[in-house]
Amino acid sequence: MSENAEPTPPTAPPARPVDSTKPSGGGPLDTLNRPLRDLRISVTDRCNFRCTYCMPKEVFGRDYQFLPRAEILTFEEITRLARLFVAHGVRKIRVTGGEPLLRNDLEKLIAMLARVDGLEDLTLTTNGSLLKPRIHALTQAGLQRVTVSLDSLDNDVFKAMNDVDFPVERVLEGIEAAAEAGLAPVKVNMVVKKGVNDDSVLDMALYFRGTGAIVRFIEYMDVGSSNGWRLDDVVPAAEIVKMINAEMPLEPIAPDYRGEVAQRYRYKDGSGEIGVVASVTQPFCGDCTRARLSADGKLYTCLFATKGHDFRALLRAGKTDEEIAAFLRSVWKVRDDRYSELRATATPGLSKVEMSYVGG
Ligand code: SF4
């Protein structure tokens, strides 16, 4: 191969074989033999950003009715549910929103969740705007990892994406503070939208290479029913890998566990790794072990679900742990979600749950 020839783009990492000898963590399997492993808990539907692909201002404007306080689960209710979910196989909890750091005293909830027996991984997804001043208390409370959303290093592009004129610098300070607080590797999520921030992909890869942070490039998705999604605006993950590989050669890395969302690649020169999340062009529903709990206690078994299952009603009706556990099992056992695999044939105009309500 002549030295100027473009490096051959690496193929996608091999899928991790299903380890059927591994017990399902004592939990139910769904109709596609998928265990429940990963619970995302939204602690608020509010956010201080208005990212156009998640919470467009036109829909989530000044008059938008967010959940009233009384309807939101208390920390005690969240922790009780978390304990029951862990008893049914959950090993990883991701605290999300909206923007979770808008929830007062979130450190208290982190400390309560960190004490749940059997939980192996406690992480948080944030837009980073409030992270720097809070990271030490969150780490002290037991937070193990953090993912920060950042869609460009270019201030104008970033502002166009978050639609609230928030500067990149403040988010970068949060990422740095998280690494200093010992939460490395910090994951950085970038949603790539064609014609909006795709020119920022290489800059992001270059900036974070060698820092220990891992950028995950996410295909723009038709989440919810309000972001005006078009397939034409999607930059396929394979193209993103090719773009980066042409400048900084990459090689695939095998996934860490079944259900890992991102395809992982490392730089051949050993200076770090990236990930791509290809929900549109290379769906991964077959290994999806995720469930999402909204701030008002509804369980969604898919990011693109159209209905949720009300656990708050059971909690507030004084149901026993066993009664709530039985409901959980009944919900998961009949789960057959695989929206991303069926996207092309999905009914147009489906009223899908909003990502800001269930956390990505
Ligand atoms: S589309 Fe639904 S089932 Fe498929 S990977 Fe995403 S959340 Fe899981």
188 and 150 in contact (C-beta within 8 Å)? yes
Domain-located, residue 81:
yes
Instruction: Output the pTM of the full model.
Output: 0.92
244 ligand 1 Cβ < 6 A: no
Does the beta carbon of 284 sit less than 6 angstroms from any atom of ligand 1? yes
- The CB of 355 under 6 Å from ligand 1? The reply is no
Whole-number Å distance between alpha carbons of 328 and 234: 35
Closest residue to atom 4 of ligand 1, CA basis: 285
Q: Which of 6-15, 36-45, 253-262, 330-339 has the lowest mean pLDDT?
A: 6-15
For residue 19, the tally of other CB atoms under 10 A from its CB is 9
Q: What is the pLDDT of residues 132-190, one digit of tens each?
A: 999 999 999 999 999 999 999 999 999 989 998 899 999 999 999 999 999 989 999 99
In a domain, residue 182? The reply is: yes
- Work out the percent of the chain whose per-residue pLDDT is above 90: 85
Ligand 1 geometric centre to CA of 220 (Å): 14
Residue 10 placed within a domain: no
Q: What is the pLDDT of residue 13?
A: 54
Quick one: which atom of ligand 1 is closest to the CA of 340? 1
Residue 199's domain spans which residues? 38-358
Ligand 1, atom 7, lies closest to the CA of 302
State the average pLDDT for the chain: 92
Domains of the chain: total: 1
Instruction: Give a yes or no: residue 154 inside a domain.
Output: yes
26, part of any domain: no
Per residue in 287-315, pLDDT (tens digit) is 999 999 999 999 999 999 999 999 999 99
Q: Is the CB of 300 under 6 A from ligand 1?
A: no
pLDDT of residue 9: 53
Q: Which of 36, 219, 285 to mutate to test the pocket of ligand 1 (most atoms within 8 A of CB)?
A: 285
Residue 85 beta carbon below 6 angstroms from any ligand 1 atom: no
- Ligand 1 proximity of 102 Cβ (cutoff 6 Å): no
Residue 284 CB coordination number (10 Å): 19
Residue 11 belongs to a domain: no
What is the average pLDDT across 56-75? Answer: 96
Give pLDDT, residue 297: 98
291 close to ligand 1 (CB < 6 Angstrom)? no
Strand-pair partners of 144: none
Higher-confidence residue of 347 and 122: namely 122
1: in domain: no
For the chain, give the number of residues: 360
For the CA of 261, the nearest atom of ligand 1? 5
How confident is the model over 320-346, as pLDDT tens digits? 999 999 999 999 999 999 999 998 777
In a domain, 186, yes or no: yes
Contact 204, 152 (CB under 8 A): yes
Residue 304, ligand 1, Cβ within 6 A: yes
CATH number where 174 lies: 3.20.20.70
- In this predicted structure, the answer to whether residue 5 has a pLDDT above a threshold of 90 is no
Q: How confident is the model at residue 25, as a pLDDT? A: 56
Question: Which residues partner with 276 through β-bridges?
Answer: 217, 263
pLDDT tens digits for range 88-138: 999 999 999 999 999 999 999 999 999 999 999 999 999 999 999 999 999
Report CA(232)–ligand 1 centroid distance (Å): 21
**Residue range 223-257, pLDDT digits in tens:** 999 999 999 999 999 999 999 999 999 999 988 87
